[in-house]
Amino acid sequence: MKLTVIGLGYIGLPTALLFASKNVDVVGVDVNESVVNKLNNGQLHIEENGMEELLVQSLDSKKFKASTTVEEADYYIIAVPTPHLEDNSCDVSYLKSAVEKLQGVIKKGDTVIVESTIAPRTTEDVVQPMIESYGFEVGKDVYLAHCPERVLPGKIIHEMVHNNRIIGGITDACTKKAIDLYKVLVQGKLLETKASTAEMSKLMENTYRDVNIALANELVKISDTLKVDALDVIKLANEHPRVNIHLPGPGVGGHCLAVDPYFIVASDEKNAQIISKSRAINNSMPSFVIEKVNEIMKSIKGKKITVLGLTYKGNIDDIRESPALDIYHELKLKSEFEVVAQDSHVHLDWVENDIEKALNDSDLALVLTDHNEYKNISVEVLSAMKNKVIFDTKNIVNSDDSVTYYNFNNIYEI
């Protein structure tokens, strides 16, 4: 069996390497020549637990190679980005470009699988006509399915193997062909359905979480007005056996929760009322955080802010759609304060890696990401601050009486 994976990002690369580890001959394709060269030399361009070992193993076994050119195979997995456009609809330009690369390469009996997150009916209305324009009948000559990923950054390697997987074919025959591939790797259940149902299922998984977080964030704002302890409210409400309110935060980021709901809204704006409002609530949180930061700085007559964390979630290097990044840039551009960014996972020339150095002479430590290193910031590190004030938007810091500590439970005390 030979597999070609198009797109070597956060999903495509671990997918390719995991199949290679199962003795499948894999060619990973990416338009970025630098990425291809790095991978063939055993160097990763993204951070993910366990992936370095997989890369070395796959190169040593000669079961994986990276290329800028699509090669003939039995299966093709497309895992390219699908950002949202200005009108919030799904940008399928990268997807269409990937499918175009299959022309003249795919043959009868091959299977094409789209893993990229896409709007409902994209497989049927966009990908299927393109493949059939190459002279194949989908479901008879060539098989087509949508099989969305459902993994947690930091645990991708484990979850790609152990999570249940949705397998949505254009026809039943397409579904069966896709299952033949995934059963080589996946130990979880392989859930059979139609392509359009698979597309909507993936979007609703993330939309559910986005809506739930929006409820928590709205509670924070209401509690701030009413001087109520929002985090205690959530903790107590969740003692109910059928209640599970998510945790609030400085906003929602990443390529899933911050993007996927828009694809549903753009598909049926008239009826997607709760989804649309939830997106607006979560998008408003960076401004809410900045408002509170300004209140704190005014109350302590502060001059320097240290932003702790730029990624959209903890212990990863992914800054896509990160509200922390938006907050940093907004403070940097529009406030009168000195603003320093610290994140040991983000390697950019303007980002400080050393926490103590970043906090030196600072008036406020603004925690925007739940990296492990922020949970137990030592007294010695905090002693470098001018004013020892923490605003913890992720509710992770173990503080003591030596600092003034704010989170979403007591921000009304500012």
**Which of 394, 350, 387 has the alpha carbon at shortest distance from 372?**
394
130/16 same-domain check: yes
Q: Is 256 one of the annotated active-site residues of the chain?
A: yes
* C-beta separation of 196 from 121 below 8 A: yes
Q: Would 242 be classed as within a structural domain?
A: no
d(CA 359, CA 327) in angstroms, rounded, equals 18
Q: Mean pLDDT, to the nearest integer, of 50-62?
A: 95
Q: What angle do CA 254, 255, 259 make, to 5 degrees?
A: 105
Residues 303, 402 share a domain: yes
Q: Which of 101, 177, 194, 202 is catalytic?
A: 202
DSSP secondary structure code for residue 9 in this structure = S
Count of domains observed in the chain: 2
**Same domain, residue pair 38 and 164:** yes
Does 202 participate in catalysis according to the annotation? yes
Q: Is residue 244 part of a domain?
A: no
Residue 377 confidence (pLDDT): 87
- pLDDT, tens digit, for every residue of 280-325? 999 999 999 999 999 999 999 999 999 999 999 999 888 989 999 9
Selection from 57, 153, 72 nearest residue 105 by Cα: 72
Q: Which tokens sit at 307?
A: 């932003």
Q: What's the distance, CA 31 to chain centroid?
A: 21
Dist. CA 73–CA 318, nearest whole Å: 31
Query: 245 lies in a domain?
Result: no
Residues 6+ apart with CB under 8 A from 212: 244, 245, 246
Q: Which domain holds residue 138?
A: 2-202
Residues 338 and 263: their CA atoms lie apart, in Å, by: 38
Burial class (CB in 10 A: 0-12, 13-18, 19+), 315: middle
Let me know if residue 228 belongs to a domain.
no
Output phi, psi for 339, to 5 deg: -125, 125
d(CA 402, CA 382): 9
Q: Evaluate whether residue 42 is within a structural domain.
A: yes
**Residue where a domain stops, chosen among 175, 202, 229:** 202
pLDDT digits (tens, 9 = 90+) for 202-253: 999 999 999 999 999 999 999 999 999 999 999 999 999 999 999 999 999 9
The reply to whether 243 falls in a domain is no
**Backbone region of residue 63 per phi and psi (left: phi > 0; alpha: psi in -120 to 50; beta: other values):** alpha
Q: Are residues 49 and 194 in the same domain?
A: yes
Picking from 300, 350, 302, the residue whose alpha carbon sits closest to that of residue 325 is 350
pLDDT at 370 over 80: yes
Candidates 101, 194, 256, 394; catalytic one: 256
> Among 202, 235, 250, which residue terminates a domain?
202
Higher pLDDT, 85 or 78: 78
Average pLDDT over residues 254-283: 93
Mean pLDDT of 32-56: 94
**CATH code of residue 350:** 3.40.50.720
pLDDT on residue 322? 95
* Residue 174 and residue 31 share a domain: yes
Q: Which of 157, 181, 202 is the last residue of a domain?
A: 202
Q: What are phi and psi of 115, to 5 degrees?
A: -100, -20
- pLDDT at residue 165, as a whole number: 97
Residues 153-175, mean pLDDT to the nearest whole number? 96
Are residues 286 and 192 both part of a single domain? no
379 lies in a domain? Answer: yes
Q: Taking residues 111-115, report their average pLDDT.
A: 98
